[in-house]
Structure 1
């Protein structure tokens, strides 16, 4: 019998009278030591006929090598019947698969020219699928013919009604006149391979017309060569104060037939692979993802990995995924949020149990569609302020013109954070007022090229400044007659950058460029730079001119703080903050209607 490795060979499968070829390419894997397996091999014969044998694939086998021989046709008055077909090949199997073996019976002689049976199958019992029994011959006086031999068939599922997986057909019956074996003279054995015309070509399926005598079916199990593929961990997250929930993907080959052993279970390690314990994961959806929760753990960080088990040994371990079991942090209470100039002052009480808390974060997100503000918003999500563990509040700078939802949460070690408080919705936050006269300034205003002393009408100037409350709005104005230049939103580092256009129609002379807002404490704060306007119509010294109309830019209107835009003639273009803060855990996702909203309203603790 052949025992070729399934890694090199595959066999065509016969279904409803047709054999089709299939080739499987094995993935790389670690070969396992040969385990002690239950013996799985044998040969069943069609003598005596009418016998069926059911076999079940035991653990540790991935393929079966088959050798099928059909039964010879019956003899007639000394003329032997036709030889039957022989079919050899290999099929992939898995533990628990069942097969019904039905060896062919030699066709009856001319004295009793019955067609040979295929196991217990008779011509009367065939209702579908290929004909496996021989046709009867003729016991007449002139020409006596014998019956055709029965086919040897393997049926899937272990029952006589199962689909024919493989078969080797029987030989034709003989004729007493020496004409046989001929289809016209004796009972037909349906001597065609593949249920159609000829045997399929290729190494995996080999056939020949050499079988004589009773039919037979030989089989020999081929042990699995490889353990399963390793699972893939999706996440390992703390659950409560003493548990970790692990979600992982089952091996890719869990449902495939190849030289890898079937998955029989799973194990988990919490110490990087030194020790393993069995787990019973559950599948909660239609994906291959499995979930398991391990409880009774002490606080600490655990290197988590999972692996599959099989009859020949475990798979390789998945990638190690660190998971930390921590005591849940307490949630602040008594939260209040009061709006001020481009800011929200948040106050709160510490939780009764403040163990493990290193500080607090107040987070605010605007009542606005994210798609309308994302291009000019100063962060990747919510704006925030941090408080120390012994503080009871902080001041959040916010772009003016919106109402906000405010939450507070505690921060612990390694970026661990507690639960949000219930959100508080504020009133619309007002922006800074434009001073009636140029303030003296708390510091120098500058440009991207440093301080300048001359400007011309229509010139674009990139203004820069620092010292403002992060995320607050800054109003830009040209004095002495107040001429709005636009607004800007401060970045997380307290700086802003804004492009403005010096308006036309302003009298030549000395003017002041001023950025007005608030500082870290919420107090008014302004930066100033004096410049000389040249190339313009002469006017009273120290004025910005009294002719011409200036239209505020879009950014100076409520509901659009921090956006860029330009006004009518004489209006000044600007840009919002160029600083984007990394580490913010706000996430943007699609919601019904196509609107984008921020899911995460908190940032990771810095």
Structure 2
């Protein structure tokens, strides 16, 4: 197992890694300017050497560990060996000196076949560990043994410099002796010493170090300018624009953040921006006035640091000051079946960019939410009317408001807000109605259905956002409801009544199509496990029991007709 070195301490510098170089700016005696030298890091778990450069280096920071003793094997259990020795400290060096080193290996573990071999030192056999002896039972049969002793690690240098970290003894009564006899050899010139035993077993020895430059000074700190802001948005107005943005704070310890902000309308010239925190939007914001309506500006923002100056500019955001279109008039809201027909008259003024289309917004109150969302868009040249799907459920109220939208997406002045009367629920015919198409079940679910069980059905072709009632016949009984999505589709699971009679029945999805006309999709089903005979029959089908109460209905969407455009998935207005 390899050792992991402890944090380096020498002169407060961190090791740069195995055989790697880390730049350090120092001033050398006799030189007029600073020269960049490198911290030289080295290590070995076998053998190696290091040569001190001729100039600029004054010390080596050493870490030497001897090999651990191997584990013994006594009475079927492992007995841990002892750790090797550990030496740490600084030695003064001179340019051109060479140091050689060899790390001792861990002693081998004993097993049921006898003791383990001693660790070895590739450069000096005198530093090898002793082998563990065998353990025998009363019949002189080998049943275990001692772990091998760990080999010592050694560093040799000029003028008799010598460091030896002893090897740990092998585990067990028959454990082999570790090299070095449990005592480290530490050169007298080593400073800042650690002389003892390593704090873990089961490791090979190791030699690590750093050749350190003379007279180190702090690394020159180069500060970086503020980063570019992100998330720019522009809210246009009459001769004015409000710009919002998110500062990008530096995570670099040498990075600087903006103390003030500047903006540019052309990407070249920058002026101070009076930016402040906008609590409502949780961003920085500032407003520019005196702009020309109908002109497109590419606004950029950059930070300015008191320490480093101007930072990186943001990506541009387009701003288009404008005069808004006027408010449409004559808004009407006529409720229908799970829907409302909205009409209006044109806006009296087109504004700077002209009218592209009209937007109908639905304001919903009730349930667990309240919302204003665009549900219908009608081109300016089309008939000014659209049909909007609604929830046919008590407890919800609706209002509509219409606005003109110009050619670049600006909303004009709102019309008067008009309340919507209560929409009617889909009709529940007394007999199975004529079918406009088929309800479908999931693939593989075409068989009979047990009374009281759930059945999943899907349908399409309905007014988006409108209520669809699910009814089981002969005698009609409402068993559920759904709301058509933005494409006029729905999928719902309903539970058939437990009291249904065995035999043929029909599931009907009753609602309205995108033009507001009644729409019925049907699915014949065969019921089993219900009542054996029906109390009455209608049209040849088993009697289901009359219950035409419409359950809770839900969902919103819209489809414009008479020249309108579908808005699939209602858009919430800011």
Q: Out of 358, 362, 365, which is 1:364 matched to? A: 362
CA contact (8 A) 2:359 2:378 kept: yes
Q: Does 1:277 align with 2:259?
A: no
Q: Does 1:307 align with 2:299?
A: no
Residue 438 to residue 422, structure 1, CA distance change in 2 (3 Å)? same
With the length of structure 2 as denominator, give the TM-score of the two structures.
0.51
Residue 386 of structure 1 corresponds to 377
Residue 562 to residue 408, structure 1, CA distance change in 2 (3 Å)? same
Q: Out of 422, 439, 442, which is 1:445 matched to? A: 439
Q: Does 1:346 align with 2:324?
A: no
Q: Report the Cα offset of residue 451 of structure 1.
A: 8.4
Q: Report the Cα offset of residue 339 of structure 1.
A: 0.9
Q: 2:389 and 2:326 mapped to 1: Cα distance?
A: 25
Q: 1:260 and 1:535 mapped to 2: Cα distance?
A: 75
Q: 1:261 and 1:396 mapped to 2: Cα distance?
A: 54
Q: Report the Cα offset of residue 533 of structure 1.
A: 2.6
Residue 243 of structure 1 corresponds to 240
Q: Does 1:316 align with 2:311?
A: yes
Q: Does 1:516 align with 2:507?
A: no
> Partner of 1:268: helix, strand, or coil?
strand
Q: 1:259 and 1:482 mapped to 2: Cα distance?
A: 76
Q: 1:549 and 1:479 mapped to 2: Cα distance?
A: 9
Q: 1:438 and 1:227 mapped to 2: Cα distance?
A: 77
Q: Out of 388, 411, 425, which is 1:417 matched to? A: 411
Residue 331 of structure 1 corresponds to 327
Deviation per residue, 1:552-604 (Å, 9 max, x gap): 5xxx34xx4228xxxxxxxxxxxx99xxx976443xxxxxxxxxxxxx4x7xx
Residue 356 to residue 224, structure 1, CA distance change in 2 (3 Å)? farther
Q: How does 1:452-491 map to 2 (within 5 A)?
A: 452=446, 454-491=448-485
Q: Report the Cα offset of residue 311 of structure 1.
A: 7.4
Q: 2:256 and 2:568 mapped to 1: Cα distance?
A: 46
Q: Report the Cα offset of residue 369 of structure 1.
A: 3.9
Deviation per residue, 1:123-177 (Å, 9 max, x gap): xxxxxxxxxxxxxxxxxxxxxxxxxxxxxxxxxxxxxxxxxxxxxxxxxxxxxxx
Residue 457 to residue 436, structure 1, CA distance change in 2 (3 Å)? same
Q: Does 1:232 align with 2:205?
A: no
Q: 2:456 and 2:478 mapped to 1: Cα distance?
A: 15
Which structure features the higher share of strand residues? 2
CA contact (8 A) 2:503 2:527 kept: yes
CA contact (8 A) 1:478 1:544 kept: no
CA contact (8 A) 2:298 2:316 kept: yes
Q: 1:385 and 1:292 mapped to 2: Cα distance?
A: 32
Q: Report the Cα offset of residue 498 of structure 1.
A: 1.1
Unpaired stretches in structure 1, ≥5 consecutive residues: 1-202, 206-222, 374-379, 564-575, 587-599
Q: Report the Cα offset of residue 417 of structure 1.
A: 3.2
Residue 399 of structure 1 corresponds to 391
Q: 1:288 and 1:395 mapped to 2: Cα distance?
A: 39
Residue 303 to residue 491, structure 1, CA distance change in 2 (3 Å)? same
Q: 1:264 and 1:492 mapped to 2: Cα distance?
A: 48
Q: Report the Cα offset of residue 383 of structure 1.
A: 6.6
Residue 381 to residue 455, structure 1, CA distance change in 2 (3 Å)? farther
Q: 1:482 and 1:288 mapped to 2: Cα distance?
A: 57
Unpaired stretches in structure 2, ≥5 consecutive residues: 1-214, 558-566
Q: 1:541 and 1:292 mapped to 2: Cα distance?
A: 72
Q: Report the Cα offset of residue 338 of structure 1.
A: 1.2
Q: How does 1:134-153 map to 2 (within 5 A)?
A: none
> Partner of 1:367: helix, strand, or coil?
strand
Q: 1:260 and 1:452 mapped to 2: Cα distance?
A: 67
Deviation per residue, 1:107-137 (Å, 9 max, x gap): xxxxxxxxxxxxxxxxxxxxxxxxxxxxxxx
> Partner of 2:355: helix, strand, or coil?
coil
Q: Report the Cα offset of residue 421 of structure 1.
A: 2.5
Residue 456 to residue 381, structure 1, CA distance change in 2 (3 Å)? farther
Residue 262 of structure 2 corresponds to 267
Residue 383 to residue 397, structure 1, CA distance change in 2 (3 Å)? farther
With the length of structure 1 as denominator, give the TM-score of the two structures.
0.48
> Partner of 1:439: helix, strand, or coil?
coil
